[in-house]
């Protein structure tokens, strides 16, 4: 019987000039970069889908370039989330979900709905938005995760809304954005954004070890005791959970090294 979910670590995208020296083998053709990244990592968060649509053939090509078990997390279109009234975003959500993302097949990971730091929590409107997120598209189950970056979301009501819809909250390790470490879905999604280009593994080894232990706890169905919770009194169902952790923004030069080191750590026994 499975006692823990799958933990996948990764990075944001696969195109970054500095990685030509710090990650990719010398003289490797750019057309081979995704294949190489797929051979070294477990997941990639795609930012390009936030700014524009892709063709179905593009998603199919991405899927073909990575091995079994690898997943792409897609950042949803900005037109879905950057609006005053979220309840009116259904046309944009439909357009995003029908552009061909299901060509990824089993390589389709969570869909990240990211909100501007200035977007405040309005309970009724946010609840209406969550109702617009479908459970499946073209017969493929969808997993949704929300990154709310305004402190007004730090309320138990927000956590309860997400849990009611089985939507995860981004556990953001960030200098200014709020951290939502509460478990609200059957998977957990972390964005590690405090890295440094001066650290070979993006995060210091001690911090990577700390996050590895936290991710293992989440995967086993628990909640880390050293992270602050918004709704600390909630009872969370004890069940194995898949976990996704991405090294994003801070320390981007060495983000691949951080992801590989963290992946190595989560595979070791406690």
Structural domains in the chain? 7-266 (3.20.20.410)
Neighbours of 98 (CB within 10 A): 13
pLDDT averaged over the chain? 96
Q: Which helix (H) or strand (E) holds 206?
A: helix 205-219
pLDDT at residue 1 above 60?
A: no
Please report the DSSP string for 117-154 in residue order.
TTPPP-HHHHHHHHHTS-SEETTEE--EEEE--SGGG-
Q: 7-52: per-residue pLDDT in tens?
A: 999 999 999 999 999 999 999 999 999 999 999 999 999 999 999 9
pLDDT at residue 237 above 70?
A: yes
Q: How confident is the model at residue 270 (pLDDT cuts 50, 70, 90)?
A: low
Nearest to 87 by CA among 141, 38, 125: 125
Rg (alpha carbons) of the chain, rounded to whole number: 18
Residue % of the chain over a pLDDT of 90: 96
Query: pTM score, two decimals?
Result: 0.96
Neighbours of 216 (CB within 10 A): 20
From the number of C-beta atoms within 10 Å of its C-beta (0-12, 13-18, 19+), residue 127 rates as: middle
Terminal-residue alpha carbon distance, the chain: 19
pLDDT at position 72 is 98
For range 143-165, the mean pLDDT: 98
């Amino acid at each position: 019987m499975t006692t823990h979910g799958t933990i996948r670590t990764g990075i944001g995208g696969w195109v970054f000039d500095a990685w030509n020296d710090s990650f990719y083998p010398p003289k490797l053709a750019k057309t081979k970069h995704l294949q190489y990244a797929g051979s070294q990592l477990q997941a990639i968060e795609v930012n390009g889908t936030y700014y524009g649509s892709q063709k179905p053939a593009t998603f199919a090509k991405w899927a073909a370039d990575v091995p079994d078990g690898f997943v792409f997390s897609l950042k949803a279109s900005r037109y879905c989330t950057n609006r005053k009234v979220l309840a009116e975003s259904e046309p944009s959500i439909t357009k995003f979900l029908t552009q061909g993302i299901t060509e990824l097949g089993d390589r389709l990971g969570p869909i990240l709905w990211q909100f501007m730091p200035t977007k405040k929590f309005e309970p009724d409107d946010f609840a209406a938005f969550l109702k617009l997120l479908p459970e499946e598209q073209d017969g493929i189950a969808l997993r949704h995760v929300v990154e709310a970056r305004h402190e007004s979301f730090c309320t138990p009501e927000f956590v309860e809304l997400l849990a009611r819809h089985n939507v995860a909250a981004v556990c953001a390790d960030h200098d200014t954005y709020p951290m939502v470490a509460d478990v609200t879905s059957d998977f957990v999604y972390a964005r590690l954004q405090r890295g440094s280009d001066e650290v070979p593994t993006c995060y210091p080894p001690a911090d990577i070890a700390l996050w590895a232990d936290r991710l293992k706890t989440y995967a086993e169905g628990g909640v880390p005791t050293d992270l602050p919770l918004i709704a600390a009194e909630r009872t969370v169902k004890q069940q194995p959970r898949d976990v996704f952790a991405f090294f994003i923004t801070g320390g981007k030069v060495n983000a691949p090294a951080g992801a590989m080191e963290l992946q190595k750590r989560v595979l070791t026994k406690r």
